[in-house]
Chains A and B, each alone.
Chain A
Amino acid sequence: MVPAPDYIPLINLPRPIEAVAVIAVYLGFVSVVAMFFIWWERKVSAHMQSRLGPMRVGGWHGWSQSLADGLKLLSKEDLIPDEADRPLFRIAPYLAFVPAFAAFAVLPFSAKFAFVDVSITVVLIFGILALEVLGVILGGWASNSKWSLYGAMREACQIVSYEIPLGLAVLTPVLTVGSLSLVDISIDQGGGIHRWLAFRNPFLFVSFGVFFIASLAANKRAPFDLPESESELVAGFHTEYSGMRFAMFFFAEYAAMFLIGGLAALLYLGGWYDPFGIVLHMEHTPSLVWWAALAGAGIFVVKAFTMVFVQMWLRWTLPRLRIDQVLYMCVKVLLPLACVNLLGVALWAWLFPGGAAQLAVQIVLTVIGAGGAGAFLAILVWAMFFRGRGITVSMLKPWTNLLHRTESK
């Protein structure tokens, strides 16, 4: 195992000032990230759909559209339906919003940029995230609308089911590294792409998939967006919300998207380390420690944003699953898979504590995983380069040609 660099607190200031400074920085960051994602999602969806998306507000590519939307939502009337349960209806958006933001407190950006590091970060973060469901259920129920109730019930059903495979999937890196601290887990992955936990062994490789799918479902992102499925439940649990309360639900969702992406990066994709071991090297060079922290944070953000992009990409590509299929997926596919992974990882740690075989497996998995992603990117770049021919779905899904062949009469 690579020895961990010294872990020091963020800034050496008097306690109260430090606290205020940290809170200001972190609240600001989270809000900006959430707003950026809202704008980004609109741009991503637009470009996928051969549109431009917001182009006017603020000048360059409508960069301040979210700001304008936020102002608009702030100034909108705060409607509460007559038949709604008023106190619960009012409090529900905050119950959804606060956990999503609170979880950021323990999310480390790099070895030096961890606002709070407790030894059980992983447990804490999933505990906090699970609270978000309360807000959604309460909001749906307090609205006193049948569609909202459906949304809330679906959310409850979905979260309760998916917490289990999600938790089991999270346990696999924990087991491998032997720590519940996200900082420790991340530090264990420094020193090159082959050390990333997703490529550590076949079980972790699969476990990453389980984690990502389950986290999508837990954050009700498409194709698991049943609680707010527009074409079925109008808007699900937030049908009756307007103005800033509606925006709260939105913010919570987008903040949680970043959390999910960040957790995927920390748990499986090498945390704040680059694929070539440069950051690790810098961390061990005393004069470069702060640069390493900065570069690490940058890399971490890039990784998290990439995962967020994947979430958006899925949302604008896939149709929505049906509730029975969502539960089937959870109970009959992900749950057994997660259990097998957990067992597998434990066995693996016992059978191959290290050595050449372990390294060989790591390299093969790296080639498969990173190579696959690289090949995909290459096709994309190639398609963009030859734009005259346009990017077609068929280019990216060559196997569908088989379907066409059977179709020919």
Chain B
Amino acid sequence: MLDRDESRTTASLIIPDPVDVDVTRDDAAGVDSDVMTEEMLVNMGPQHPSTHGVLRVVLRTDGEMVLEATPHVGYLHRCAEKIGENLQYFQFIPYTDRMDYLAGMNNNLAFALAVEKLAGLEVPERAQYIRVIFAEMNRIASHLVSMGTYGLDLGAFTPFLYAFRERELILDLFEAACGARLTYSYITVGGVTDDIPAGWLERCVEFLDYFEPKIKEYNDLLSYNHIFIKRTANVGVIPPDRAIAWGLSGPVLRGSGVAWDLRKATPDLVYGRMDFEVCTGKGRMGAVGDCWDRYFVRIEEMEQSVRIVRQCIDQIGGAAGGHKAKMPKILKPPAGETYYGIENPRGELGFLVISDGTAVPYRVKARGPSFCNLAILNEVATDCLLADVPAIVGSIDVVMGEVDR
């Protein structure tokens, strides 16, 4: 492998000014001036196969070396926050679907929880269980996409389709519950829009039984693949202190070895009753906090999500109440404000909701995990090879719908 330090010196090679050097001299300086290298600015995106949407990264390169990678965002900006200031609380739920469109359920949940806290609403226990089931199932679906596309970024096409095969089954389950396959708006303020249909839990267990052994298969196919490890281990290392300082969250933060999970730190819903582990990167293939760790945290989290869903299904029978709290026709929370963050598949999705006592929020601010996680790209993707940039961007796993909002 290329010695990293060596290549760095090559990259910063000082090129003598051609005017000053007499090329006819046959000493060392004259020979040096024959090799004229130039830095090149390359636009990676907004249309590029591995930028996961409309991310644009401007790369300053010297040959295959990337000296600087500057992300430019905003190509998908819709100013959802302004829209939020113009709609009733319920009406904003569908807009949250479109932020992190791979984890619609979790987005709904974050906003619903924020509004419920603001309005002082109590959600029935059964609804809480249903919410946790759907949030965790969506986490599995989201991590599947993340895993699959990460393989794609590194040139392994096949795991992507395996991941989508399993994700389809989850989407089928979601469709059975709420009729939608991507933008659910299922979890809403006060509970969930409808109770789960008869036989749904059995189907869910069936899926989990089918899905659990598949995780091992992904590991065999991708995680422990020698080339995959070579491509991801020791690449894009984020030390834990930098990860916290940059406000990273979710698998990106945990990949750096920080056991920080809002499901444990601020247990809401019924997460407090669940027995699960916070998965962290342990540096098994290289340094702690490299791309492989971030990737593998997601694989491990799928296992944990399966555990949580199983526990929920076991416990939901004894849960009291219906699927939704009794709600006023038009919700008018008392004037006040609150911030509520939950653990999305990609990290902390927080909503700051300010009410002025009317039916429309005064201010809705969304703190998207992708947005915050992407900010570190400039620091991580420097002095790496061109092929490492997709590896790093993919391991940060951004959804541009949420970055740009």
Contacts and interface: CB of A to CB of B under 8 A. Distances in A.
Direct A–B touching, Cβ under 8 Å: yes
Interface of A: 45, 48-51, 146-147, 150, 153, 222-223, 225-226, 229-232, 234, 316-325, 327-328, 392-394, 397, 400, 403-404
Contacts of B42: 146-147
Contacts of B160: 49
Interface in B155-174: 155-158, 160-162, 165
A327 B1 CA distance: 8
A318 B225 contact: yes
A392 B219 CA distance: 11
Interface stretch (B89-97, B195-203, B253-261, B385-393): B385-393
Given A232-B386, A234-B48, A45 B157 contact: yes
A393 B220 CA distance: 6
Contacts of A226: 387
Nearest to B384: A322
Contacts of A230: 49, 155
A48 B159 CA distance: 10
Contact of B1 (A147, A325, A394, A397): A325
A323 B165 contact: no
Given A319-B231, A325-B230, A392-B217, A231 B1 contact: no
Contacts of A394: 216-217, 220
Given A322-B388, A328-B1, A49 B217 contact: no
Given A230-B49, A325-B230, A320 B155 contact: yes
A229 B228 CA distance: 15
Nearest to A320: B155
B157 A322 contact: no
A324 B1 contact: yes
Mostly helix, strand, loop or mixed at chain B's interface?
helix
Given A231-B155, A392-B217, A49 B161 contact: yes
Given A318-B227, A323-B385, A324-B385, A397 B155 contact: no
Nearest to B2: A324
B369 interface: no
B390 A231 contact: yes
B221 interface: yes
B231 A400 contact: no
Contact of B220 (A146, A153, A400): A400
A213 B219 CA distance: 25
B224 interface: yes
B374 interface: no
A404 B224 CA distance: 10
Given A147-B42, A320-B387, A322-B388, 7 more contacts: A49-B157, A50-B162, A50-B165, A231-B152, A319-B151, A319-B155, A324-B1
A320 B225 CA distance: 11
Contacts of B222: 319
Nearest to A146: B42
A49 B161 CA distance: 6
Nearest to A48: B158
Contacts of A146: 40, 42
Interface residues of B, number: 41
Nearest to A406: B284
Interface in B209-236: 213, 216-217, 219-222, 224-225, 227-228, 230-231
A403 B224 CA distance: 8
B355 interface: no
B49 A150 contact: no
Contacts of B151: 319
Given A50-B162, A323-B64, A324-B385, A393 B221 contact: yes
Contacts of B154: 231, 319-320
B284 to A, nearest CB: 8
19 contacts: A49-B157, A49-B160, A50-B162, A226-B387, A230-B155, A231-B154, A232-B390, A317-B158, A319-B151, A319-B227, A320-B227, A321-B227, A323-B387, A324-B385, A328-B1, A392-B213, A397-B220, A400-B219, A400-B224
Nearest to A50: B165
B303 to A, nearest CB: 11
Contact of A318 (B7, B49, B156, B219): B156
B153 interface: yes
A377 B160 CA distance: 26
B293 to A, nearest CB: 13
B146 to A, nearest CB: 15
A362 B389 CA distance: 48
Nearest to B59: A146
B50 interface: yes
A321 B225 contact: no
A323 B230 CA distance: 12
Contacts of B50: 231-232
Contacts of B385: 322-324
Contacts of B220: 392-394, 397, 400
A150 B63 CA distance: 8
A316 B158 contact: yes
B225 A319 contact: yes
Nearest to A404: B216
A321 B231 contact: yes
Nearest to B227: A319
Interface in B35-91: 40, 42, 48-50, 63-64
Nearest 9 pairs of A and B residues by beta carbon: A320-B155, A324-B2, A49-B161, A231-B50, A393-B220, A319-B156, A319-B154, A322-B387, A319-B155
B166 to A, nearest CB: 10
Contacts of B162: 49-50
A257 to B, nearest CB: 17
B216 A229 contact: no
A322 B158 contact: no
Given A232-B390, A322-B385, A49 B158 contact: yes
Interface in B350-370: none
Interface string B1-37: 1100001000000000000000000000000000000
Contacts of A397: 220
Nearest to A157: B64
B217 A222 contact: no
